[in-house]
Amino acid sequence: MHATTDKVRAVRYPLTGDFLAGRLRQNLRSEDLTYIENLVESVEEHGDGTCILERGARTECSTILIEGYVFRTIESGGKRFITGVHLPGDFIDLHGFALKRLDHNVVAAGKVRVGCVSHATLRRVMMDRPGVARAMWFATLLDAAIHRKWIQTLEQLDAPRRIAHLYAELRTRLELIGRVNSRALRTPFTQFDMADMCGVSAIHANRAVGKLKEMEIAEIRRGDLYTDDWDLLKKFARFDPDYLYGEGPLKLEDDWD
């Protein structure tokens, strides 16, 4: 991790037109998606390792991840702990909007592009568009469900299975947002990153990666995972996608809108 460029650029439009192919998409009509895309007031790029949002900050805008990976991290006793990872389409600091104060950092893993929506705009949205407000609430509930699964993973699995579970989850989440186009799963993660996500030392993460290769479950090279058999990997990790609520658009009562 070497923080090189900070904010490469901050522009106002044009947007990609498709950056909301993320989590919200499942729960919104296309007109609402267009509506949200137009809320983005600026787009920023950040280099690997950049701290995009700092613990304790009181922000005036919320951030949606457009491209790349970010970590939720907490520093304690000189060490870093990763409590979550986010993919394009995820709002990464809606809690900063509602709780007014961030309790952890958000750090870029590799190059990322994010969009900013001011809190004033969000407040207006919450009032004018209950359907959109609801979708954002769903997204935070899904975050909580993923957190619970990470807790279970830490409580239940040994290091090789934790790493396998991490990649199985990422694979499924990428599928849900239509970003899987090969059998490989490419990430910018180092073994240090994997270690901090899985609650083991970097050296033990290395052992675990070696074991996955030895067992012919998967080969991980510089963050990129290659496997001939995703089902085998998922079985090994005891992965059950239930908690990702990937069953498609929720059947919602219309009287909500």
User: Residue 59: which of a second copy, DNA, none does it interact with, CB under 5 to 8 A by kind?
Assistant: none
Q: Which of residues 114-133 bind a second copy (CB under 8 A)?
A: 123, 126-127, 130, 133
Report the nearest approach of a second copy to the CB of residue 35 (Å): 19
The CA radius of gyration of the chain, in Å to the nearest whole number, is 18
Q: Which of residues 181-210 bind a second copy (CB under 8 A)?
A: 196, 198-199
Residue 214 in contact with a second copy, rule: CB under 8 A? no
Nearer to a second copy, 35 or 245 (CB): 245
Residue 154 in contact with a second copy, rule: CB under 8 A? yes
Report the nearest approach of DNA to the CB of residue 68 (Å): 15
Nearer to DNA, 64 or 109 (CB): 109
80 exposure class (CB count in 10 Å sphere: 0-12, 13-18, 19+): middle
Give the one residue of 44, 143, 169, 193 binding a second copy; rule: CB under 8 A.
143
CB 204 within 8 A of CB 158: no
CB 185 within 8 A of CB 170: yes
190 to 229: interface string for DNA, x by CB under 7 A: xxx------xxxxxx-xxxxx----------xxx------
Q: What is the 3-state secondary structure (H, E, C) of the chain?
A: CCCCCCEEEEECCCCCCCCCCCHHHHHCCHHHHHHHHCCCCEEEEECCCCEEECCCCCCCEEEEEEEEEEEEEEEECCEEEEEEEECCCCECCHHHHHHCCCCCEEEEEEEEEEEEEEHHHHHHHHHHCHHHHHHHHHHHHHHHHHHHHHHHHHHHCCHHHHHHHHHHHHHHHHHHCCCCCCCCECCCCCHHHHHHHHCCCHHHHHHHHHHHHHCCCCEEECCEEECCCHHHHHHHCCCCHHHHCCCCCCCCCHHHC
Residue 2 in contact with DNA, rule: CB under 7 A? yes
Report the nearest approach of DNA to the CB of residue 213 (Å): 8
User: Residue 99: which of a second copy, DNA, none does it interact with, CB under 5 to 8 A by kind?
Assistant: a second copy
User: Residue 9: which of DNA, a second copy, none does it interact with, CB under 5 to 8 A by kind?
Assistant: none
Bridge pairing between strands 105-118 and 42-46: antiparallel
User: Residue 81: which of a second copy, DNA, none does it interact with, CB under 5 to 8 A by kind?
Assistant: a second copy
Interface residues with DNA (CB under 7 A)? 1-2, 4, 158-160, 190-192, 199-204, 206-210, 221-223
Interface residues with a second copy (CB under 8 A)? 72, 74, 76-77, 79, 81-84, 94-95, 98-101, 103-104, 123, 126-127, 130, 133-134, 137-138, 140-145, 147-148, 150-152, 154-156, 196, 198-199, 238, 242-243, 245, 250-251, 253, 255-256
